[in-house]
C-alpha cells in the first residue's frame, strides 16, 4: 500500500499506540547496553533510507533478527513501499507490530526502544547518518561506501571510540558469495602464486548520459533534504526512461535515485561502488587493510570522463561526471602493483573481478567463479587452515547480517569493521582524486594526506552545507 506525502508526515504521530506491541518483543534492557541475556530477546530496528538495497537486501535481511519500529526516508513514495514490505514481513512472522514512517531520520534516533539502525541512504548521507546514530546510542549496519571523503572516515572512527557502539559495513564479499573471495584471500596469504607482482581489479565504468534538463523534483521527494551536505542545485531528470534492465531499470536518468553514483558530488562512481567490494578483497588478500603499509603511489595511466575537468572540478553540471573508463596503477611501498581498471577484457579476458598474478601462477575470482591453476592445485594441497579463521579469527557466519547481529550481542568487532573499510576506501577516494586532477599522486595512509600536493589535499574533505555537517 502506497502512502502520499500528507499520510507519510501525519503518520509520525502514531508512535504511542505501538509501544505495547513493540515492548512485547523487547523486554528489559536493550541489547545495546551489553550482551543479550535472553535467548528470546530481539533487538528493535529502525531503517534510514529505503531505496533499491532496502528492498533487495537490508529490509528482508534485517527483519529476520527483530521487529522494525520506524522507517525514515526523504522520499515519501519510497518510504511507503518500505512500510508495506515491513508490514508484510511482520504479518508473515506473526508480529502484532505497527510502524511509523518519517521524513526526518532524527525521529528514528530519538526512539529509546530502537537498538539498531540499518542505513541504506545515498552515499553522501552515510557518514552523518552513522555518526548521529552512534551518538544516539544505536548500533549500526551501513551500506558501503561508508564515506564521501577521506576525512569523514576518521570522524566515524572517533564516534565509535567515544560511544563504544558496534558498526558493520555492507561489504558482503568478506563473508558471502559462496566464500569465493575469502578463499581467494586465504590462498594469497598462503603464498599460492609465489612472489606477488600485480593484482588487477576490474570494476566497470560509470554510466554516461546526455544533458539532463532541469525540472521540478517529484512531489514525493524533499530535494533540499536529499542534497544534505551538498550544495543546493537544480533537480535534473531525463524526459523518458532509458534503462529497461539492470540497476535503475524503469527509472529515468536523474541527479538523484538510482543514478546518484555517477555524480562525484554525491558518490565516487565505480571506485566507491564495485571498487568498495573488489579493491577491498584485493587489499585483504595482500594484507594491506592494516596500518603501517607505507606510502601508495597513485598513477592514472588512462582516464575518460564524460565532461571536462578544470582543477579537478567538472566544467558542466547537467550530466553524469564520474569516470567511464580508466586504468590506474596503485604501487604499494613493497613494490606490489594493484591496477584498478574499468575492464581488462581485451588483454586479460575479464571485465569484473580480481586477478592475482605472481611468479608461480595466477588466478581469477569474481562473484561467479574462482578459477586458475593455483585453484586447481587446492585439490592436491588444500589450505592448511579454515579461511575464515585465517583472515578473521572466527568461524564463518551464516550471513553478513548475521555477523553484525552476533556482534551486537557479543560486543565484538564485526568482520567488516570501520577501520579496515576506511583503509581500503581511502585508496578508492585517492584514485578518484588522481583521476580528477589527471596526475600521479602519492598518498600517505598514516596521515591521510597526499605528499607534497596542496591542491590534492583540498579534496581530502569538502565544504558542508550548514545544518548538515558531519562533525
Q: Hey, where are the domains in the chain?
A: 177-215+262-400+418-457
pLDDT tops 50 at residue 120? yes
pLDDT at residue 200 greater than cutoff 60: yes
Residues 39-42: contacts with CB under 8 Å, at least 24 apart: 42/66, 42/67
User: Could you give the angle at the alpha carbon of 70 between the alpha carbons of 66 and 75, nearest 5°?
Assistant: 130
pLDDT value at 277 more than 80:
yes
Residue 257 clears pLDDT 80, i.e. is over it = yes
pLDDT at 96: 64
Given phi > 0 = left and psi -120 to 50 = alpha, else beta, which region is 455? Answer: alpha
pLDDT(180) > 80? yes
Highest mean pLDDT: which range of 1-5, 50-54, 80-84, 329-333: 329-333
Q: Model confidence at 204, in pLDDT bands (50, 70, 90)?
A: very high
Ordered DSSP codes for 15-55: -GGGHHHHHHTS-SS-GGGSS---TT----EEEE--SHHII
Q: What is the pLDDT of residues 18-31, one digit of tens each?
A: 333 333 333 322 33
- Smallest Cα–Cα separation from 421: which of 284, 294, 297, 328? 284
Strand order in the sheet with 370-371: 370-371, 361-365, 353-358, 196-202, 337-341, 325-331, 296-304, 441-444, 449-450
User: Tens digit of pLDDT for each residue in 364-423?
Assistant: 999 999 999 999 999 999 999 999 999 999 999 999 999 999 999 999 999 999 999 999
What pLDDT does residue 221 have? 98
- CATH code for the part of the protein at 177-215+262-400+418-457: 3.30.360.10
Query: How does the average pLDDT of the chain come out, rounded?
Result: 91
Amino acid at each position: 500500500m502506497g502512502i502520499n506525502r500528507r499520510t507519510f508526515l501525519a503518520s509520525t504521530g502514531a508512535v504511542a499506540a505501538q509501544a505495547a506491541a513493540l515492548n512485547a518483543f523487547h523486554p528489559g534492557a536493550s541489547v545495546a547496553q551489553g550482551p543479550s541475556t535472553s535467548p528470546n530477546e530481539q533487538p528493535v530496528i529502525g531503517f534510514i533510507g529505503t531505496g533499491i538495497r532496502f528492498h533487495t537486501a537490508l529490509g528482508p535481511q534485517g527483519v529476520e533478527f527483530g521487529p522494525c519500529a520506524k522507517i525514515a526516508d526523504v522520499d515519501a513514495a519510497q518510504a511507503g513501499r518500505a512500510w508495506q514490505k515491513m508490514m508484510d514481513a511482520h504479518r508473515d512472522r506473526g508480529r502484532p507490530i505497527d510502524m511509523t514512517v518519517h521524513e526526518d531520520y532524527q525521529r528514528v534516533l530519538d526512539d529509546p526502544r530502537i537498538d539498531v539502525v540499518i542505513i541504506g541512504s545515498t552515499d553522501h548521507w552515510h557518514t552523518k547518518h552513522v555518526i548521529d546514530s552512534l551518538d544516539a546510542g544505536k548500533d549500526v549496519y551501513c551500506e558501503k561506501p561508508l564515506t564521501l571523503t577521506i576525512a569523514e572516515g576518521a570522524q566515524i572512527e572517533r564516534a565509535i571510540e567515544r560511544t563504544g557502539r558496534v558498526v558493520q559495513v555492507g561489504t558482503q564479499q568478506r563473508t558471502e558469495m559462496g566464500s569465493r573471495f575469502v578463499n581467494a584471500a586465504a590462498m594469497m596469504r598462503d603464498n599460492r602464486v609465489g612472489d606477488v607482482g600485480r593484482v588487477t581489479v576490474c570494476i566497470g565504468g560509470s554510466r554516461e548520459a546526455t544533458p539532463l534538463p532541469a525540472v521540478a523534483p517529484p512531489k514525493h521527494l524533499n530535494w533540499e533534504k536529499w542534497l544534505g551536505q551538498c550544495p543546493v542545485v537544480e533537480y535534473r531528470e531525463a524526459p523518458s526512461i532509458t534503462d529497461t534492465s539492470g540497476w535503475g531499470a524503469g527509472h529515468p536518468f536523474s541527479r538523484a535515485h538510482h543514478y546518484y553514483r555517477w555524480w562525484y558530488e554525491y558518490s565516487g562512481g565505480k571506485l566507491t561502488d564495485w571498487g568498495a567490494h573488489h579493491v577491498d578483497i584485493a587489499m585483504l588478500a595482500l594484507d594491506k587493510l592494516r596500518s603501517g603499509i607505507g606510502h601508495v603511489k597513485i598513477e592514472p595511466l588512462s582516464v575518460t570522463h564524460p565532461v571536462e575537468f578544470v582543477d579537478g572540478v567538472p566544467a558542466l553540471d547537467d550530466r553524469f561526471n564520474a569516470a567511464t573508463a580508466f586504468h590506474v596503477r596503485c604501487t604499494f611501498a613493497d613494490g606490489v602493483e594493484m591496477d584498478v581498471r574499468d575492464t581488462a577484457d581485451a588483454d586479460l579476458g575479464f571485465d569484473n573481478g580480481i586477478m592475482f598474478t605472481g611468479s608461480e601462477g595466477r588466478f581469477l575470482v569474481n562473484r561467479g567463479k574462482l578459477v586458475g591453476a593455483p585453484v586447481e592445485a587446492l585439490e592436491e594441497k588444500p589450505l592448511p587452515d579454515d579461511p575464515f579463521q585465517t583472515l578473521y579469527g572466527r568461524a564463518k557466519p551464516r550471513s553478513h547480517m548475521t555477523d553484525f547481529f552476533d556482534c551486537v550481542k557479543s560486543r565484538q568487532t564485526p568482520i567488516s569493521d570501520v577501520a579496515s573499510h576506511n583503509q581500503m576506501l581511502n585508496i578508492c577516494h585517492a584514485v578518484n582524486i588522481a583521476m580528477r586532477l589527471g596526475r600521479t599522486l602519492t598518498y600517505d595512509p598514516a596521515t591521510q594526506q597526499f605528499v607534497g600536493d596542496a591542491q590534492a589535499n583540498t579534496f581530502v574533505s569538502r565544504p558542508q552545507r550548514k545544518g548538515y555537517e558531519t562533525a
